[in-house]
Every structure is written in structure tokens, then in C-alpha cells.
């Protein structure tokens, strides 16, 4: 089996082609657009390549155009500011001569200060919920061939939903979900690498939260879904290869958009990141056979 984690690390290992300019590639998949988490991770890598001895504490990004997986993505870094404690970078992703994505990230020297956090939700542990393989086996034979191939491909991140909805017959549910996830193997101790892998994973499942109350999903043919923006705040060190709980909620949807929030905890209850995202959830006509 292909080492999907190694593939991800290679995708995140951008090629430098000029000062402040980097080139990234996409995996060889049949999907029509670049996965948003890939662009988040690659843009953060590009920013990190221009920063020394500081760690990202926040990023804010906009998805502007769908990415084309068949051509490279150029990342241009603007070194906005280098201060004594904080460093700021802006990254623009370009394809076909047009901006498809931009990201602003702030980096800080490590400091001590006041600390508090929300408690982790009381949920079953990752060993007490079905594995991703078990969930796939229940539905794979019922999916269209193109969707099944995409659904069953090797993935660098393992996901274990605690309350898994029916993919084929989604019902209306409250706008909350909790999901365990982790990289399928160790990616090392480097903080930057772990943050970039987490940035990649943070775009998975989050947008699904805001369509749960409406009884639709990306397979139903009743909704057009796409990430519009993405924000992350990193609160502490972690290892992306260890189980993390992604506790998600959606406080509102309106105007064909849904707002989603996520808190990411280590298995022992330490809050290591917070996420927010607004996405397009435009109603469409159901598919016809």
C-alpha cells in the first residue's frame, strides 16, 4: 500500500524557485479541484520557509478560486514584518496567472503567560468507536464508482467519527459533531511540520457540520459545498500522529453560507488549536438518474 503520509510530506515539501517564491504540486487524483487543506498546509510551509526560531500562533485564509490539481501552484511570500516578538507573513497562491488563495500568518517566539482553556467534551475514546475501514465497508459497495474510488483511496489522516450519520440517507441532526483523527504514522517532532499537517487535516469534515440540521451532504446532490475562508489558532505543542479530538459546531447558516467552529484537543484533554470556517452551502436540484 502507498505510504499516504509520506506522500503528504512530499506534497508539503515545497520547491524554492526564487527568493520568497515556492512551487507546490498536488497528488495524482481524479478529483476536479485541489483539496483546501492541501493549500492551507502548503501556504503555511511557504511562510515557515521565511521564518526562523518562531512558531505560528494564528493564520487567516481565503479560498478565492478552485485549485487545478493538474498544474503546479506558485506561492509568493510577502515578509510583512519582523518584530522582536512577532513575525507576520502574507502568502498568495497562484495558478494560471490568477490568485486562487491567500493566507496571513503570525509567528511568535515561545513565551510563558497566563493559561486557561475549555474542558474537552466527555465523549467515547478513539478505541471505542468504529474505525474508518469499518465505516467504509458499510457503504463502499453502494456508492457511484467515481465516488467510491475517491472514498476508498489511501489517506494520510485516519478519521473516526463518534456519531457517524448515514452517508446515503442523511437525516436532520443538531449542528454538532466530534471526530477523532490522527496522521497514520509519526511525522517527527518538528513543530512546523506538525502544524502544517494539522492545517491540512483541519479542513476535513468541518464544513459538514453546518449541513447536518438540513438533512443533506456532499453525496446527496442537493447542496453545492465549498470552503470560503479558514482561520486557525495554535495554543500549544502536539504530535499530529497521536489521537486528536476535533469537536465541531455550527452556530448559524444563512445566505447560502454556513459558519463552523472547531476545538482540537489531545487525548488527555489539552486544547491545542481552535478553528473557524465559513463555507458555501448553496441548495441545488437533486441528481437525476
CATH code of the domain in which 228 resides: 2.40.160.210
Percent of the chain with pLDDT over 90: 80
Direct distance between the N- and C-terminal alpha carbons of the chain, in angstroms, rounded to an integer: 34
Does residue 64 belong to any structural domain of this protein?
A: yes
Active site residue 274: no
pLDDT tens per residue across span 85-114: 999 999 999 999 999 999 999 999 999 999
Using alpha carbons, list the distances in angstroms from residue 125 to 39, 122, 266: 30, 9, 11
Does residue 245 belong to any structural domain of this protein?
A: yes
Does residue 122 belong to any structural domain of this protein?
A: no
Does residue 121 belong to any structural domain of this protein?
A: no
Task: Please report the DSSP string for 21-39 in residue order.
Answer: EEEE---S---SS--HHHH
- Based on the structure, what is the number of domains in the chain? 1
Does residue 115 belong to any structural domain of this protein?
A: no
- Of 177, 227, 247, 250, the active-site residue reads 227
Does residue 51 belong to any structural domain of this protein?
A: yes
Does residue 193 belong to any structural domain of this protein?
A: yes
- Of 203, 208, 248, 250, the active-site residue reads 203
pLDDT for 289 equals: 45
Active site residue 186: no
Does residue 118 belong to any structural domain of this protein?
A: no
pLDDT for 110 equals: 94
Percent of the chain with pLDDT over 70: 93
The whole domain housing 142 covers 4-110+128-283
- Of 95, 241, 274, 277, the active-site residue reads 277
pLDDT tens per residue across span 189-245: 999 999 999 999 999 999 999 999 999 987 778 899 999 999 999 999 999 999 999
Under a CB-based contact definition with an 8 Å cutoff, are residues 273 and 198 in contact?
yes
C-alpha grid cell, residue 153 = 483511496
Under a CB-based contact definition with an 8 Å cutoff, are residues 222 and 168 in contact?
no
Query: What pTM did the predictor assign?
Result: 0.93
Q: Lowest mean pLDDT: which of 1-10, 43-52, 97-106?
A: 1-10
Active site residue 3: no
What are the start-end ranges of the H helices in 109-225?
A: 132-139, 145-151, 191-202
Amino acid at each position: 500500500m502507498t505510504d499516504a503520509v509520506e506522500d503528504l510530506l512530499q506534497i508539503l515539501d515545497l520547491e524554492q524557485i526564487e527568493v520568497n517564491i515556492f512551487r507546490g504540486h498536488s497528488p495524482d487524483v481524479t478529483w476536479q479541484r485541489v483539496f483546501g487543506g492541501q493549500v492551507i498546509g502548503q501556504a503555511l510551509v511557504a511562510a515557515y520557509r521565511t521564518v526562523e526560531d518562531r512558531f505560528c500562533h494564528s493564520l487567516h485564509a481565503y479560498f478565492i478560486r478552485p485549485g487545478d490539481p493538474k498544474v503546479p501552484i506558485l506561492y509568493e511570500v510577502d515578509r510583512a514584518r519582523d518584530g522582536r516578538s512577532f513575525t507576520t507573513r502574507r502568502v498568495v497562491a497562484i495558478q494560471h496567472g490568477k490568485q486562487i488563495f491567500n493566507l496571513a500568518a503570525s509567528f511568535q517566539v515561545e513565551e510563558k503567560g497566563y493559561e486557561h482553556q475549555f474542558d474537552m467534551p466527555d465523549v467515547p475514546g478513539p478505541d471505542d468507536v468504529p474505525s474508518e475501514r469499518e465505516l467504509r465497508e458499510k457503504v463502499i459497495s453502494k456508492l457511484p464508482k467515481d465516488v467510491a474510488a475517491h472514498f476508498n483511496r489511501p489517506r494520510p489522516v485516519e478519521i473516526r467519527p463518534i456519531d457517524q450519520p448515514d452517508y446515503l440517507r442523511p437525516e436532520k441532526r443538531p449542528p454538532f459533531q466530534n471526530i477523532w483523527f490522527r496522521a497514520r504514522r509519526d511525522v517527527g517532532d518538528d513543530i512546523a511540520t506538525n502544524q502544517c499537517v494539522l492545517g491540512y487535516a483541519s479542513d476535513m469534515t468541518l464544513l459538514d457540520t453546518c449541513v447536518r440540521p438540513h438533512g443533506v451532504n456532499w453525496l446527496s446532490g442537493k447542496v453545492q459545498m465549498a470552503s470560503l475562508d479558514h482561520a486557525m489558532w495554535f495554543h500549544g505543542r502536539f504530535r499530529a500522529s497521536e489521537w486528536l479530538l476535533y469537536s465541531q459546531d455550527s452556530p448559524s447558516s444563512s445566505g447560502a453560507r454556513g459558519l463552523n467552529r472547531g476545538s482540537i484537543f489531545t487525548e488527555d484533554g489539552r486544547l491545542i488549536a481552535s478553528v473557524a470556517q465559513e463555507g458555501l452551502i448553496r441548495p441545488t436540484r437533486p441528481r437525476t438518474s
